[in-house]
Amino acid sequence: MTVTTQLNVRPSGAVLGADVEGVDLSQPLSAEAFDAILQAWHSHLVLRFRGQRLDDPALIAFSRRFGTLDLAPITVTGEREIPEFPEINVISNVLVDGRAIGSLGSYEAEWHTDMSYNDLPPMMSCLYSLEVPDSGGNTGFLNMYEAYETLPSDLRQVVDTHRCKHDSSRNSAGELRKGARDLKDPREVPGALHPLARTHPATGRKAVFLGRRRNAYIPGLPLDESEAVLDRLWAHALQPRFQWEQVWRVGDVVLWDNRCVMHRRDAFSASARRIMHRTQVQGDRPF
Ligand code: OGA
Ligand code: MN
């Protein structure tokens, strides 16, 4: 039997998310097997591979099948979290000698799209879990195609004809970036402009494209109107019927499509340990 005939895709039952079974990601994938994974990804938006055992080179090799990898950010120490593997970003609350070994701590991460404040936001993010807390730290995902397709017609009219500015002055924790000014008026903050309705380059489907709510602004609209439209859009998109939640086990590889998915994370106990290794694949300019 070839790898492809063993590969099984089991949809979550929600409007996004599927388990891919029968594949060992530590081994090189045939073109056929990878094609099947890519197809499943385009259909289900978030894929989960349970029970994997990957070292960093294997995680990098698998992620690279999807495209060119971004390098992890440089930390305050001036190094990357794993200097030998600059493609790996550590997401963790664990402290070693009083210093965090990774990003995001143990707090809640609100709904967002990764790095959409850039002109070329990443298309894929991938997390591999090495240690997980007994409870908390679940990751939620939203299907933004569904959000688009179910918009009331007046909102659909706005998103089809407007762009949104994605604030680049603050990081995912809402903290001001180094050198950024603390501007209160969303019209003034710096950031990338992207269409509110984004067409997925592979599937041709349209999705609502939002980054973060704070300081978002729809150029061309008076501020109060922009705020009102964004509030309605966010309220529409965050409906539970568009969501699926990942409850982590050690050995899960979860990858999501930032072009049509938003995500969030629950807080968890600061005394618990959670360690993920993460990769990110470069994307194109949204259209
Ligand atoms: C991320 C992220 C959520 C999590 O890695 O981009 O938002 O569950 N992580 O750690
Ligand atoms: Mn994220």
Residues sharing a CB contact under 8 Å with residue 203, sequence separation 6 or more, in sequence order? 42, 260
Buried b (16+ CB within 10 A) or exposed e, 4-25: beebebeebebbbbbbbeebeb
**pLDDT tens profile 186-198:** 999 999 999 999 9
Does position 27 have pLDDT exceeding 50, yes or no? yes
Task: Tell me whether strands 275-281 and 89-92 are parallel, antiparallel or unpaired.
Answer: antiparallel
- Asked if 280 contacts 126 with a C-beta cutoff of 8 angstroms, the reply is yes
- Asked if 205 contacts 15 with a C-beta cutoff of 8 angstroms, the reply is no
User: Among the atoms of ligand 1, which is closest to the Cα of residue 274?
Assistant: 10
Does position 146 have pLDDT exceeding 70, yes or no? yes
Residue having the nearest C-alpha atom to atom 3 of ligand 1: 265
Residue-level pLDDT at 4? 47
The mean of the pLDDT values for the chain is 95
Residue-level pLDDT at 273? 98
Centre of ligand 2 to C-alpha 73, Å, is 14
Centre of ligand 2 to C-alpha 90, Å, is 12
Q: Is 148 exposed, middle or buried (0-12, 13-18, 19+ CB in 10 A)?
A: buried
- How many Å apart are CA 241 and CA 227, to the nearest integer? 24
What the block records as the tokens of 257 is 């499509």
Residues sharing a CB contact under 8 Å with residue 183, sequence separation 6 or more, in sequence order? 169, 189, 215
Does position 170 have pLDDT exceeding 90, yes or no? no
Task: Tell me whether strands 197-199 and 8-11 are parallel, antiparallel or unpaired.
Answer: unpaired
- Per DSSP (E only), the strands in 113-167 are 124-131, 139-143, 163-167
Ligand nearest to the CA of 254: 1
What residues flank ligand 1, with Cβ below 6 Å? 91, 104, 109, 114, 125, 127, 139, 263, 265, 276, 278
Residue-level pLDDT at 74? 83
Residue 64 neighbours by CB distance under 10 Å: 13
**pLDDT tens profile 41-94:** 999 999 999 999 999 999 999 999 999 999 998 877 788 899 999 999 999 999
- Asked if 165 contacts 193 with a C-beta cutoff of 8 angstroms, the reply is yes
Residue-level pLDDT at 5? 57
Centre of ligand 2 to C-alpha 4, Å, is 31
**pLDDT tens profile 196-247:** 999 999 999 999 999 999 999 999 999 999 999 999 999 999 999 999 999 9
Residue-level pLDDT at 7? 95
Residue-level pLDDT at 3? 47
pLDDT class of 264 with cuts at 50, 70, 90: very high
User: Among the atoms of ligand 1, which is closest to the Cα of residue 246?
Assistant: 8
Long-range contacts at 98-106 (CB < 8 A, ≥ 24 apart): 101/275, 102/275, 102/276, 103/73, 104/172, 104/173, 104/265, 105/173, 105/270, 106/137, 106/267, 106/268, 106/269, 106/270, 106/272, 106/274
Residue-level pLDDT at 1? 45
Centre of ligand 1 to C-alpha 265, Å, is 6
Distances (CA, A) of 224 to 117, 140, 228: 22, 30, 6
Residue-level pLDDT at 174? 78
Centre of ligand 2 to C-alpha 114, Å, is 5
Centre of ligand 2 to C-alpha 5, Å, is 33
pLDDT class of 136 with cuts at 50, 70, 90: very high
User: Among the atoms of ligand 1, which is closest to the Cα of residue 112?
Assistant: 7
Length of the chain: 287
Residue having the nearest C-alpha atom to atom 6 of ligand 1: 114
pLDDT class of 280 with cuts at 50, 70, 90: very high
pTM of the shown model: 0.96
- Single-letter amino acid code for the residue at 277: H
Ligand nearest to the CA of 105: 1
